[in-house]
Structure 1
Amino acid sequence: MKISFLIHTIYGIGGTIRTTLNLAEELADRHEVEIVSVFRHRDIPLFDIDPRVTVVPLVDTRPSSPTNEKEHPLLLQPAEYFPRNEARYKEYGKLTDERVRAHYATAGSDADVVIGTRPGLSAYVAQFAPTGAVLIGQEHMTHHHHKTALRKEMYAHLDALDAYVTVSEGDARVWRERMPLPATRVLAIPNSVPEPPVAPSDVSGKTVVAAGRLSPEKQYHVLIDAFAKVVKAHPDWDLRIYGWGTERDKLLARIEELGLYNSVRLMGPHSPIEPEWAKGAIAASTSRHESFGMTLVEAMRCGLPVVSTDCDYGPREILADGEDGILVPVGDADAVATALLTLIDDEELRRKMGAAALRNARRFHPARVAEQYEELFGELRTAAAQRAEAGGYAPVADCVVEPDGAVTVTLAGPRRDGLHLACVRTDDRTDDHRFPFDAEGRATVPADAVFHEGIWEGSVELPGSGRRVRITTRSIDQRGAMRARERVTGGVRTLIPYPSKPKKQLLLRSWVRPVHAEAADVQVSRGEITVSGELIGAAPAPDAPTLIVRRRGRGSVDLTYPGTWLGDGRFRFTFPAAGPAAHQTAANQWWDLLVRYAPGAEPVRLARVLDDIVDKGPVFGYPATRLRKKRPYALLRIAARRLRGLPQQYVRVRPAYADTNDLLVNVADVPVK
C-alpha cells in the first residue's frame, strides 16, 4: 500500500511535523510511504527522517537557493483551491494549487491513501487526490480553535473525505455534534510518541521541566507564578522551560519581577527533547488549550509524573488523575503550586506516579497508533470505492415552486433507486432534512416543512454510503414564489430555490418570521425617505407605529420616528435623511430599519421577502439624497476643517437591501474631487 502525507513543511519543528514523522516511519515497516512537503524553506530538515520515507518538496522557498520560488508570479497570485479563511492562506497561491494537483495527477503518485495534515491541506486532498484513494484529513487543532467562517468553508471538503481524524475523543465528539458529516467517518486516533533513546528518569532530582512554544495559550506565566510559591518552600528546586516563541521577553520580565532568576531558566529549543525530560523529576503543563498534549506523553515516556491543567481536550484523555499525574484547573497558579509541592514533598508518591506514567504511556507507541490507522485504511477501502462511484455521479435537476409553496425537485437523466433529496442549513449543519425521490426521480419539499431561516444546500444522498453529491440546477421555476403573499396565514414562512454562482448548484433560501414588516414602496425626495409596507402576524395597536433607525456596529444609536397606519395593517413612515447623517461616525455606515407596531412590542425588521427575488440588493436600486456635511466624524477631519481652501464635503444617504433582504439605509462620504 502506498501512503502519502501532505504537510505544510517537513523541514521545520513542531508537533504536527513530529507526529507525522513518527507515524510515517512506523508505517514504512510495511508500506511505501511518502511525505509531500508543500514548502521547502531550509536545506536539511530539523528532525531526522527515516531513509525509507520519500520526501517530495513542491515549492522551494530557501533564501539562498538558486531555484528559490518565493517571488514566483503564480505564488504571488491568490490560491483558488486553498480555503480563504485558513490561517496560512496568504502563504499559498496558484503555484501551490498547481504543484499539489500535478503531483497527485502524475502516474507516479498512485497513492492508495492520502492524508492531509491541516485544514487547507485536507481541502487539497479532497480536491486533488487520486480517484479511488482513501482520503483522510487530520485535525491537529480543535473544532473550537477554528473560526466559524473556516468551518463553513471546509464543510464541502470534509464531506468529500472518507475520514476526519482528531487527536482526542472529546474533540471528535464536538465535530460530530456540531458538523454532521453523513458519509465521512469522524473519529479520534491519538498522536504517537516513540520510545525515548535515553533511560527513564529516576525522579530523584530537583528539577521541574516544561516544554512547548513560548506562546500565550501555554500560559507559562501561571507556571512561573506557581513556582514562586514552590521556591519559598524548596529553594533548592529549579524550573526549566524549553521552547521558543513570542512570549520570551514577557516571561523573562516576570521571572525578574518575582526574583526567580536563580531558580527559573528559559532553556530555548532542544531537539531531541527526551534527554532534557530525563533530567527532571516532575513535568508540568499550564496550557489554556491543548488539542492533544505531545509534551505530556513525551514526559511520561521518560518516566515523569505530570502536573497539568485540565484543559480541552488532550490532558484528561492522556493522564489518569492521581495515578500518573495530577490535573488542576486552568489558570490557577495556587492549584499548580499545590500539586507540585505534593509531588516534591512525597518522593515515594513521585516514584509511584513516574512508574505508572512510564507504563501507561506505552499505549501511545507508534506501533499501536499505526495499527489503528491501518485498521482504518482497511475499513475505508469500501467507502473509497463508493465515493469513487459517487464521483462519477453528477445529478442535474429542475426545480419548481408550486402554487401552495411546496418545492419539487426532479432529477434529469437515468433514474436510480434509493436516492434522497438532502437539505442542510449552511450555518448549522445539524439542521438537516431528507426527502425521498420517487420512481420518476421527483422529490417534494412540502409547503409546511420546517426550514429555519437561512440558506440551505441541496444534495442527492446516495443509498448505503450516505454520501451526498451537490445538485446542479438546469432550470428553476420560481413563479409559485410570486404568490407568497396569498399564502400568508399568521406569520411569514417561504422557501425559494435558486442557483449558486457560478456553479449553479441548488440552494434554497428560507425566511421564517412569526411577526414581519413587509416593505413595499420606497421613495427618496427632498432629503426625506418614505417607506410603506404591511404588518403581518400581529394586530396593529391603535397608537401610531414607530420606525427605529438603528446604527450598526459599536456605539449603536437608535433614532425614532412616528408613522401612520393606513388600514389593514398597512403603514407608512417618513424620516429625514439628515437624521442618520448627523450621527455618522465613519466614512461608510449602515443603519437597520425596524418597526415597533405596539407599545412595548419587540421591534421587527423591515424586509421584502414575499416574492420570487432571492437577492434584492442588485435588483432594487434606489436613488440617494446628497447632504452637505455639517460636521466631521473624526478628529483628523476636525483639524482639517480649520484649514482654508478645502472644498465642501458631502454625505450620501441611500436605502438599499442587505443580502438577507432586510431594508437598510447607507450613509457614506461623497469623495472630494
Structure 2
Amino acid sequence: MKVSFLIHTIYGIGGTIRTTLNLAEELASRHEVEIVSVFRHRDEPLFAIDPRITVVPLVDTRPSSPGDETRHPLALEPAECVPAHEARFKEYSRLTDRRVSDHYAASDADVVIGTRPGLVAYVARCAPARAVLIGQEHMTHHHHKPALRAEMHRHLAALDAFVTVSEGDAAVWRERMPLPDTQVLAIPNSVPEPSVAVSDLTGTTVVAAGRLAAEKQYDVLIEAFAEVVAVRPEWTLRICGWGRQKERLRRRIDELGLYNHVHLMGPRSPIDPEWAKGAIAVSTSRHESFGMTLVEAMRCGLPVVSTDCDYGPREIVADGVDGLLVPVGDRGAVAAALLRLIDDEPLRRRMGAAARSHAARFDPGPIAKRYEELFAALGAGRRTRPEGTAPTAVTGDDRSAPGPLVDCAAEEDGAVTVLLSGERGGRAALVCSHPDAAVPDRVFPFGPAGRAVIPADAGLAEGVWTCRIDPPPPAAAPAAPAAGAAPAARDTAQARSRLVARVVDQRGAMRAAERVRPGEPVHTLVPHVRHGGLALRSWVRPAHAESGRITVGARRITVSGRLLGQVRPVGDPVLLLRRRGVDEGHLEFPGARVGADGFRCAIPLAAPVRVQASGHDIWDLWLRHAPGAAPVRIGRVLDDVVEKGGVFPYPAVVLLKKRPLARVRAALDRLRLRAPQQVSVKIFFGAGNELALDVVDRTAK
C-alpha cells in the first residue's frame, strides 16, 4: 500500500520529525512511503532520510532559493483550511491550502497521516476519498487550548483513527471528546537501535536533550545541577538542543556560576553519539506526551531521571528499575535522584542494563506492525511491494549525497577508524588533506571490509584535515545525506570522492588528556562533521597548557590547568597577556604551581583596561612555566568539542573606563546626563580553542 505522511517540515529537527522518519523508514521496507513536507526552509534535511522514502516539499521558503515563495500573493492571505487557533496558524496561507489540496487531488495514497492539528484538518478536508485518514497527536489533550479543541472536533470526527502516543492521553481524549465514528487509540513512538555502541557509564557527564523551550523546564534542571556540583564538582551537564530560551538559560547558568559545569551544546544530529557520551540522562519537562529522548537515552544504555509528568514518562520508565521518577518542578528531588545515581555506581549499572533491555519494546519493527494492523483493520489497500523489488527512489527535492557515506569513531587509544557504509574498500584509500598545500596528503588504505585506521601516532600536522576516497567511486545512486550536508556538484570526481559523515562517535577524544604521557608531545585527533563532510581536527604540540576550571569574578579572572608535553615546570608559573595588533602590549601576572604539573593564575581585570590601546583590544593568554623559558599558549584541546567558543562561553565583567581626570569627567558626565563610559572584559576560546581576553568599550544603559 502507499502511505503518505503530511508534516509541517521534514527539514528541521525535533521529536515529531524523528519519529515520523523512524516509522516511515520501517514501513518503506514493505510499502510505498512518501513524506509530504508543507514547507522547505533549508536546502538539506538535518536528519538523514532513507532513499526509499519519497519527499515532496510543497512550499519553498528558503530565502536564498530562486523559488522562494514567501512573497507569493496567496502566501500573504490567511489559510482557510487550518484552524485559527493552531499554534502555527500564521505560517499557513491560502498557498499552503492550495498546494496540499492539489497534491492529494492527484494522489493514489491508501493511507494519509497528519502529524499536527492543522495538518489533521488538511487530511480531513483534502485527502483522497478512498484513503484511510489518520491523525496523530504528538502533544497532549491538555496542551491544546479549548478553542483549538473545539475547532478540531469536526475534523477529528472525519478521521478513521486518531492516534496518541500514550495510553493516558488516549483515555483523556476518549473521555473529553467522544468521537463515535473515529477510533481513538495509543501507539507509542518508535526508536531504532542506536547507531553507536552503548555507553559504558564510566564518565561523569549527565545529558539532556530537547528544544530549549519553557515546557522542558531546563531552569529547574540547571538549578538542580547547582546542588549536584556543590557535592560532586567533577560532574558536568550537557543540554543538546536549540530554541528561544537559549539566552535566558545562558544567563541563569552564569548567575549560578555554573559555566564550568553546564554546557548548552546546540542541536546534535544524530543524537545517539551524544547519549553514548553520558552516564545518566535527565528530563525535567512540565508535560511530555511521550518522551522520545528518554527512550533514545535508554536504548543507549543510560539510566534516566525524569519528572513524572503527563503522560509519557510513567509509561516508559519503571521507577526504581530502569530510572527514577520525580515530581514536576521539584529541583531538590531532581538533584537527589541524580546524586543517588552518581554516588551508587552498581545501581547506575543495573538501571542502565534494565533501561537498555526495556527500551527494546519501542523498536520500529513492532511499532510499525501495530500501524499496519490498524491500516488493515480500517480497510486500507494491500498494495505491498513485490518480494525482491527495489524501492523507487523518487524525490520531490534533491537529496542525493555528494559522496560515499561513512561512519567514524575516535577510539580509546587515540586512533580514528573510518568505515565505508554499505561498500567495500577494495583498493580504495582514505585520503586526508591539510588546508596548507605545502603539507602533503596522508593516505590510509581501506581494508576488504571497508575499514581504514588512522593510528594515534600518525603525526597529522595541526589543523583541519578534510577526507575523501581515492579512487573516487563511479557516479553513485542517490544516498541519504548526513546532518547539515552542503550541496555539491554530483557529476564531478571531486564530489564523488568526498566522504559524507553519517555517524561520528567522538567518545575516545573525551579522554585524550589521560593518554598524554610525561615528556612526550601532546597530540590528539578529533573526527567531526564539517559542512556535511568528514573532517579531522588535529592538535600537535611539543608543549601545551591545557586549561581547566575558569572562575570569573568581579575584579579578576582565575585560570587553572595543567602543563603537558616536553616541558618541566620550575618554580611558580607566570601568566602572560599579549595584545594582538600593531600596538602590541605585554602584561605579566605571577601564578601558583599546583601539584606536579598544575597551575593557577589570576588576571586582575583593571590591568588590561588601564592600558587600552583601542575600543576593542584582544589579548592572548600564555604561560611561562620556568624562568627564561619560552611561553606556551593556554587553551583547551584535549576533549571532544572541536569548536568551543559557542559551547563554553564565559560571562563578561563590566568595569568603568579609566580615563585621565576620571573624577572630573565623571562629574561632567553627571551634569550633562551622560552615561559613564564602561568597558566589557570577557575571556573566551578563539578559533583554535586557545584562550583570549576581549576588552571592549561599551555605553552604559
For this structure pair, what is the TM-score category when the shorter chain's length is used for normalisation?
0.5 to 0.7
Q: 1:187 to 1:383 in 2, by over 3 A?
A: farther
Q: Work out whether residues 131 and 380 of structure 2, in 8 Å CA contact, stay in contact via their aligned partners in 1.
A: no
* 2:98 corresponding residue in structure 1: 98
Aligned-pair CA distance for 1:50: 0.5
2:364 to 350, 363, 366: 366
* Residue matched to 1:71: 71
Counterpart-to-counterpart distance in 2, 1:377 and 1:128: 19
- The separation in 1 between residues aligned to 2:366 and 2:28, in whole angstroms, is 14
CA distance in 2, matches of 1:125, 1:281: 43
Question: Match for 2:152: what amino acid?
Answer: M
Match of 1:300 in 2: 298
CA distance in 2 between counterparts of 1:214 and 1:122 reads 26
Q: Match of 1:190?
A: 188
Residue 62 of structure 1: CA displacement? 1.2
Cα distance in 2 for partners of 1:83, 1:221 equals 32
1:250 positional shift:
1.9
1:378 aligns with 2:376: yes
Deviation (angstroms), 1:43: 1.2
- 2: CA distance, partners of 1:45 / 1:383: 30
Offset, 1:248: 1.6
1:381-417 Cα deviation digits (max 9, x unpaired):
1899xxxxxxxxxxxxxxxxxxxxxxxxxxxxxxxxx
Residues 157 and 179, structure 2, Cα contact 8 Å, conserved in 1: yes
Which residue identity lines up with residue 161 of structure 1 in the other structure? L
Secondary structure at the aligned position of 2:171 is classed as helix
1:337 maps onto 2:335 in alignment: yes
Distance 1:274 1:257 in 2: 31
**Kept after mapping to 2: 8 A contact 1:39/1:57:** yes
1:610-621 to 2 correspondences below 5 Å = none
Return closer, same or farther for 1:382/1:102 CA change in 2, 3 Å cut-off.
closer
Partner of 2:252: 254
- Please give the TM-score of this superposition, normalised by the length of structure 2: 0.54
> How far, CA to CA, are the matches of 1:347 and 1:320 in structure 2?
19
Alpha-carbon separation, structure 2, partners of 1:352 and 1:312: 26
- Residue-by-residue CA offset, 1:503-534 (whole Å, 9 max, x unaligned): xxxxxxxxxxxxxxxxxxxxxxxxxxxxxxxx
Among 267, 270, 279, which residue is 1:272 paired with? Answer: 270
The one-letter amino acid of 1:176's match is R
Quick one: which amino acid aligns to residue 111 of structure 1?
A
- Residue deviations 1:628-665 (CA, integer Å, cap 9, x gap): xxxxxxxxxxxxxxxxxxxxxxxxxxxxxxxxxxxxxx
Aligned to 1:237: 235
Residue 154 of structure 1 corresponds to 152
Cα displacement (A) at 1:80: 1.3
Contact 1:228 1:260 in 2 (8 A): yes
Task: Give distance in 2, aligned partners of 1:124 and 1:197.
Answer: 35
Aligned amino acid, residue 227 of structure 1 = F
Deviations, residues 143-165 of structure 1 (Å, cap 9, x unaligned): 11111111111111100000000
Residue 135 of structure 2 corresponds to residue 137 of structure 1: yes
Per-residue deviation at 1:221? 1.3
Residue in 2 that maps onto 1:50: 50
Q: Distance in 1 between matches of 2:35 and 2:350?
A: 40
Instruction: Report the equivalent of 1:112.
Output: 110
Q: 1:566-581 counterparts in 2 under 5 A?
A: none
2:209/2:240 contact within 8 Å kept: yes
Structure 2: distance between partners of 1:34 and 1:321: 38
Name the residue aligned to 1:128: 126
Q: Deviations over 1:18-41 (max 9, x none)?
A: 111110010000000000111111
Separation (CA, whole Å) in 2 of partners of 1:361 and 1:255:
32
SS of the residue 1:271 aligns to: coil
Counterparts of 2:158 and 2:288 in 1: how far apart (Å)? 27
Cα deviation, residue 238, structure 1:
1.1
Moved more, 56-65 or 182-191: 56-65
In structure 2, the gaps of 5 or more residues are 383-701
Determine helix, strand or coil for the equivalent of 1:308: strand
Distance 1:262 1:382, change over 3 A: closer
In 2, Cα distance between equivalents of 1:58 and 1:309 = 38
Deviation at 1:255, TM superposition (A): 1.6
Question: In the aligned structure 1, how far is the partner of 2:259 from the partner of 2:102?
Answer: 54
The answer to whether the 8 Å contact 2:240/2:265 transfers is: yes
Structure 2 equivalent of residue 22 of structure 1: 22
Q: Using the aligned pairs only, state the percent identity.
A: 76
Give the TM-score of the pair, scaled to structure 1. 0.56
Q: Which amino acid aligns with 2:39?
A: F
- Across the two proteins, how many residue pairs are aligned to each other? 382
Within 2, Cα distance between the matches of 1:16 and 1:136? 15
Other-structure match for 1:225: 223
Which secondary structure does the structure 2 equivalent of 1:115 belong to?
strand
Q: Secondary structure, in 3 states, of the residue corresponding to 2:73? A: coil
CA apart distance, 1:240: 1.0
Distance in 2 between residues matched to 1:78 and 1:243, nearest whole Å: 31
Task: Kindly provide the amino acid, as one letter, of the partner of residue 16 in structure 2.
Answer: T
- 2:373 alignment partner AA: E
Match of 1:12 in 2: 12
The answer as to whether partners of 1:3 and 1:114 remain within 8 angstroms in 2 is yes
Whether the 8 Å contact between 1:162 and 1:383 is mirrored in structure 2 is no
Q: Hey, what does 1:486 align to over in structure 2?
A: none
Q: What's the offset of the Cα at 1:234?
A: 1.1
Give distance in 1, aligned partners of 2:256 and 2:92.
Answer: 44
Residue type at the aligned position of 1:104 = Y
In 1, are the aligned partners of 2:132 and 2:380 still within 8 Å (CA)?
Answer: no
The Cα shift of 1:197 comes to 0.8
Structure 2 letter corresponding to 1:88: R
How much does 1:323 deviate? Answer: 0.5
Is contact 2:58-2:99 (8 Å) kept? yes
Q: Please give the residue correspondences for 1:140-539 in structure 2 after superposition, counting only pairs within 5 Å.
A: 140-381=138-379
Match of 1:80 in 2: 80
Alignment CA distance shift 1:237-1:330 (3 Å): same
Contact map agreement 2:110 2:380 (CA 8 A) in 1: no
Q: Structure 2: how far apart are the matches of 1:254 and 1:262?
A: 13
| Poorly superposed stretches of 4+, deviation over 2 Å | none
In the alignment, the residues of structure 1 paired with residue 69 and residue 226 of structure 2 have an alpha-carbon distance, to the nearest angstrom, of 49
Name the SS for the 2:162 alignment partner.
strand
Distance 1:105 1:258 in 2: 57
Residue type matched to 1:320 in 2?
A
Cα distance in 1 between the residues matched to 2:116 and 2:240: 25
Give distance in 2, aligned partners of 1:86 and 1:242: 27
Partner of 2:560: none
Letter in structure 1 aligned against 2:310: D
Letter in 1 for 2:326: V
Q: Is the 8 A contact 2:163 2:186 kept in 1?
A: yes
Q: Distance in 1 between matches of 2:380 and 2:33?
A: 21
How far the C-alpha of 1:232 sits from its partner, in A, is: 1.8
